Amino acid sequence: MTTPRIYMVAAEPSGDLLAREVVEDIRKRLRDAHISGIGGSELASIGIKSAIDISPLSILGFFEGLKAYGDVVRLADAAAAAIIADKPDVVVLVDSWGFMLRVAQRVRLQAPDIRLVKLVGPQVWATRPGRAKTLASVVDHILCIHDLEMPFYEPFGLKTTVIGNPAISRHVQGDAAGFRQTHYIPATDKIVLVLPGSRPSEIKRVAPELVEAARKLKSNDPSLNIVFMPASNVASQFADAFPGLSDWALVSSNAGIRYDAMAAADLALACSGTVTTELAMQDTPMIVAYKTGWITWALARGLLYSKTHITLLNIVSDDQEIVPEFVQTRHHADDIATKAQAWLDNPSELAAQLNRQRKALERMKEGDRDASEIAAVVILEEAAARSAGAISHQS
């Protein structure tokens, strides 16, 4: 059997993390697999140096995407060139719909024999179901998070495998007591954790109201411990945008204590995203906030988005508001702080919120195998199939 050649492509922090986990699982199964890639610090941490700098892709929203369109096209061209030069059996395109579609189209056109696997599909169940047909025309296999995605791809004959939610698969229980001890916070003191986002546009649009809401909570109760944890890739931007926070709060971008902080928190104020599932896994009550550009918002609400809510815990709960959302026109510090203060003043309300989150989380679980494990098996199968096909063709 020839050594499989695998190429991972990840354009954002969450995709970079998932790519790293999948690579680690592949290496457990086949130590000598040749794996190259494009990504960030997570892939770099396991020895996969990115062929191109993908930092310009940290964008959000339709209008922002238009402004960065030149970068997207340029990087898609560069990514395709790097992939083809590496001569892989299979390319794994992780998340990031717009960029990955362009990469897939270029690779398919220039090297149609390379297998293409999309790891995490676009949210066809919420926006633009037509993307299922588009994706089926350029990739060989889609690895989905939820069962509810499969019916969208079946009419187009695209091979589909459900891997489950990666955030649930990677669950590690945080050390709440350790976090408090390290930061000299007594067990009786309350902690509010603020997770302001992982994209520059989120630090610009979402973080200001979360910071102000936290400031109001601290003003109401000086004994309250506020902890800010921006993602490491936007830590410097966050520090520049909000100087002086360390005078009244703990500010850290240390990913190593992220789950500990979640577990220790009595309440979290979070930018919408994968982090909401991580918070639920740590049994932390949460309030979710989000804001995007107004053109993006108008298009999404008017044409694209078919759900009422944006938080996955709410969507899987029949689109009911299990977790409070302060989105776009409701994204105001006063309202967020008022809701948070009501919960902090009433432990029974916090307990009731936890029960609601636990029930929603149960609906998100897909099985007892890790998402990265299922993905690794499929990728190796696709690589083997391509290799076998090439040998057969040569003979």
For residue range 33-75, what is the model confidence (pLDDT) as tens digits? 999 999 999 999 999 999 999 887 765 444 445 556 778 899 9
Q: Which long-range contacts (CB under 8 A, 24 or more apart) does 122-131 make?
A: 122/97, 124/149, 124/152, 124/153, 125/149, 125/152, 125/306, 126/305, 126/306, 126/307, 126/315, 127/300, 127/304, 127/305, 127/306, 128/304, 131/97
- CATH at residue 355: 3.40.50.2000
Residues 123 and 270 in one domain: no
Residues 379 and 358 in one domain: no
What's the confidence (pLDDT) of residue 194? 98
Mean pLDDT is lowest, of 223-232, 355-364, 378-387, for 355-364
Report, as an integer, the average pLDDT of 197-204: 90
Residues 246 and 108 in one domain: no
Collapsed DSSP state (helix, strand, coil) of residue 169: helix
Report, as an integer, the average pLDDT of 133-162: 92
Which ranges of the chain does DSSP label H, i.e. alpha helix?
Answer: 13-29, 41-44, 62-67, 69-86, 97-110, 131-136, 150-153, 166-169, 176-182, 200-205, 207-220, 235-241, 258-264, 275-281, 294-299, 312-315, 333-344, 347-364, 371-394
For residue range 90-138, what is the model confidence (pLDDT) as tens digits? 999 999 888 999 999 999 999 999 999 999 988 776 566 788 999 999 9
Q: Is residue 242 in some structural domain?
A: yes
Average pLDDT over all residues of the chain: 88
Task: Give the whole-number percent of the chain exceeding pLDDT 90.
Answer: 66
> In 113-129, which positions are buried (b, 16+ CB within 10 angstroms) versus exposed (e)?
ebbbbbbbbbbbbbbee
Best mean pLDDT range from 130-134, 268-272, 363-367: 268-272
The answer, yes or no, to whether residue 393 has pLDDT greater than 70, is no
Indicate the helix (H) or strand (E) that contains 184.
Answer: none
Report, as an integer, the average pLDDT of 337-342: 97
The answer, yes or no, to whether residue 394 has pLDDT greater than 50, is no
Give residue 390's pLDDT band: very low, low, confident or very high (50, 70, 90). Answer: low
> What is the spatial distance between Cα 344 and Cα 325, in angstroms, rounded to a whole number?
17
Give residue 217's pLDDT band: very low, low, confident or very high (50, 70, 90). Answer: very high
What's the confidence (pLDDT) of residue 63? 41
Residues 259 and 146 in one domain: no
Task: Give the whole-number percent of the chain exceeding pLDDT 70.
Answer: 89
Q: Is residue 244 in some structural domain?
A: yes
What's the confidence (pLDDT) of residue 195? 97
Residues 116 and 249 in one domain: no
Range of the domain at 101: 5-164+368-394
Q: Is residue 263 in some structural domain?
A: yes
Residues 317 and 355 in one domain: yes
For residue range 11-29, what is the model confidence (pLDDT) as tens digits? 988 899 999 999 999 999 9
What's the confidence (pLDDT) of residue 119? 97
Residues 156 and 200 in one domain: no
What's the confidence (pLDDT) of residue 366? 59
The answer, yes or no, to whether residue 221 has pLDDT greater than 70, is yes
Report, as an integer, the average pLDDT of 366-389: 87
Residues 46 and 108 in one domain: yes
Mean pLDDT is lowest, of 236-250, 263-277, 293-307, 380-394, for 293-307
> What is the spatial distance between Cα 355 and Cα 277, in angstroms, rounded to a whole number?
15
Report, as an integer, the average pLDDT of 163-171: 82
Give residue 252's pLDDT band: very low, low, confident or very high (50, 70, 90). Answer: very high
Residues 253 and 329 in one domain: yes
The answer, yes or no, to whether residue 197 has pLDDT greater than 70, is yes
Q: Is residue 340 in some structural domain?
A: yes
Residues 265 and 150 in one domain: no
Give residue 211's pLDDT band: very low, low, confident or very high (50, 70, 90). Answer: very high
Q: Is residue 28 in some structural domain?
A: yes
Residues 86 and 195 in one domain: no
Residues 157 and 282 in one domain: no
What's the confidence (pLDDT) of residue 316? 76
For residue range 230-239, what is the model confidence (pLDDT) as tens digits? 998 899 999 9
Q: Is residue 231 in some structural domain?
A: yes
Structural domains in the chain (count): 2
Q: Is residue 221 in some structural domain?
A: yes
Give residue 307's pLDDT band: very low, low, confident or very high (50, 70, 90). Answer: low
What's the confidence (pLDDT) of residue 391? 45
What's the confidence (pLDDT) of residue 8? 98
CB of 6 closer than 8 Å to CB of 34:
yes
CB of 320 closer than 8 Å to CB of 306:
no
Q: Is residue 154 in some structural domain?
A: yes
- Candidates 356, 350, 358; CA nearest to 190 is 350
